[in-house]
Amino acid sequence: MNRRNYLGNLELMVMLVLIRLDDDAYGVPISRELAKRIGHEVALGSVYATLERLQGKGLVTSIMGQPTQERGGRAKRYFRLTQKGLREVRKTRVALTRLWQGLPQLEGARA
């Protein structure tokens, strides 16, 4: 049997934010977009740890941008989903939708 590693909540949320931010996906904007979308802050360290884990799984890739004066000569590290990552997000959406369907306790409920 083929064992599949499922995405954790934060992993999925970070991947969705990467899709949303497209070419501007680096640490601070990722963290801000998460906070805006889920209603509470996520520590920047947690975001980076999640990105490293996703990169280790081959779901995310990163490149270094150009150093900037505003960052004291440091470069930004930009993140993007791989094709494998996009496939995993789609599979997770299908699986979660199937799990949520037909649960009267969740129909019409608000978070």
In-domain check, residue 4:
no
What pLDDT is recorded for position 23? 87
Residue 14: which domain range? 9-96
8 A C-beta contact, residue 70 and residue 55? no
Give, rounded to a whole angstrom, the gap between the first and last alpha carbons of the chain. Answer: 36
What pLDDT is recorded for position 3? 59
- The neighbour count for residue 79, using CB atoms within 10 Å, is 23
In-domain check, residue 105:
no
Number of structural domains (the chain) is 1
In-domain check, residue 103:
no
Among residues 16, 68, 81, 63, which one has the least CA distance to residue 42?
16
> Rounded to an integer, what distance in angstroms lies between the CA atom of residue 28 and that of residue 36?
12
Mean pLDDT per 10-residue run, the chain (111 residues)?
Answer: 75 97 92 95 95 96 83 83 96 92 77 59
What pLDDT is recorded for position 1? 42
Residue 107: which residues within 8 A CB-CB, separation 6 or more?
A: none
Provide the whole-model pTM. Answer: 0.85
